[in-house]
Amino acid sequence: MSLLEVEDLKVTYGTDDGRVHAVNGVSFTIEDGINYGLAGESGSGKSTAAEAIIGLLPDNAQVDATAVRFDGVDLLELSANERQDILWERIAYIPQSAMDSLDPAMTCSAQIRQAIQKHRLVSKSNARSRAHELFEMVGLDPGRIDDYPHEFSGGMRQRVTIAMALALDPDLIIADEPTTGLDVIVQDKIVDTILDIQAQIDSSLLLITHDIGVIAETCDELSLLYGGKVMEQGSVDNMLINPVNPYTMGLKNSFPTVDETDETPVSIPGSPPDLTEEPASCVFVDRCAFATEECENSHPAFVELPNRNQRSACHHAKKAAQMRHEATDPGT
């Protein structure tokens, strides 16, 4: 069953330089029990898409979508209060830089208690014992629930924000760059903690990151954003082993791999598109090594690859898939 269905989501921001088309026709579906990745480089629209789903966009944003359905209910048709209730009861949101936005003047237990008591009628002592339990779940010493955020390291503060988000046993966890700003070993531990907890509370995950390595470790499916559009989407295994979109291919090459140490990472030349213009061409055209005249004239629709749970927005998707097929199976 589909837990979250995002259909043709568009978000623009009003700015002095014109309207920024931050998310431009994004669609994806998260089935129940799936770990879903939303990836792309800085400015590709990942956080904007998450904030649109949650309903936490700033006032200069304008949202348009066919639907944003959670468990069959269109969130865009709910009042702000109804949506907030769903958000707290069923969707846990760990915003980007969450660990830096903990209240420095409140102990961690008080912040967790507040998060619980705002939405549930529970006594102070029950909320406190829940905070204790949550600290244990995220691998923190429950004896430290009355410490202040500054008494913890960055990785530990991130665990506190995860504990807060999990307070009400959500069905979906949306985590925006939960590992950014942490050193590599701590990043791994945070990823393991999220996966552990998810298994314990049986929730789905929408993981937002620019780090393809983290996606490969944690996610079943992926949408790769560029310039506010989904370039390629589908099974992580298929996309990362046999990408057919030039952007996915470029991104895969621009990250060092753990197992293939002799592969030198190559970054994609050029810079991201100007989002104040509605794109008349493929958004990746200026940086694409395979671009043809067709790519200058229109942004491509999705091409579905048969039996692969993989679709690519590229005018040359079919040809790329055929070439990959011939390379892996030269007998055909």
Per CB under 6 A, residues contacting ligand ATP are 13, 15, 20, 22, 40, 42-48, 58, 60, 96, 210, 275
3-state secondary structure 50-106: HHHHHCCCCCCEEEECCEEEECCEEHHHCCHHHHHHHHHHHEEEECCCHHHCCCCCC
**Least distance between ligand ATP and beta carbon 103 (Å):** 23
**Least distance between ligand ATP and beta carbon 209 (Å):** 8
179 makes contact with Mg ion (CB under 5 A): no
95 interface partner picked from ligand ATP, Mg ion, none, CB below 5 to 8 A per type:
none
Element (H, E) at 108: helix 108-117
- Write the CA distances from 211 to 113, 163, 219, 256, integer angstroms: 33, 23, 12, 11
Q: Which is nearer to ligand ATP, 96 or 126 (CB)?
A: 96
Alpha-carbon span 251 to 298, nearest angstrom: 22
**Least distance between Mg ion and beta carbon 233 (Å):** 19
210 interface partner picked from Mg ion, ligand ATP, none, CB below 5 to 8 A per type:
ligand ATP
Q: Find the residue with minimal CB distance to Mg ion.
A: 47
Alpha-carbon span 324 to 321, nearest angstrom: 5
Mark residues 100-139: x for contact with Mg ion by CB under 5 A, - for none: ----------------------------------------
Q: Which is nearer to ligand ATP, 252 or 316 (CB)?
A: 252
The footprint of Mg ion on this chain (CB under 5 A) covers a number of residues equal to 2
The dihedral built from the CA positions of residue 52, 54, 55 and 57, taken in this order, carries a sign that is negative
How many residues can be counted in the chain? 332
47 makes contact with Mg ion (CB under 5 A): yes
CB atoms within 10 A of CB 9: 25
**Least distance between ligand ATP and beta carbon 242 (Å):** 25
Closest by CA position to 303, among listed 319, 327, 287? 319
**Positions in the binding site for Mg ion (CB under 5 A):** 47, 96
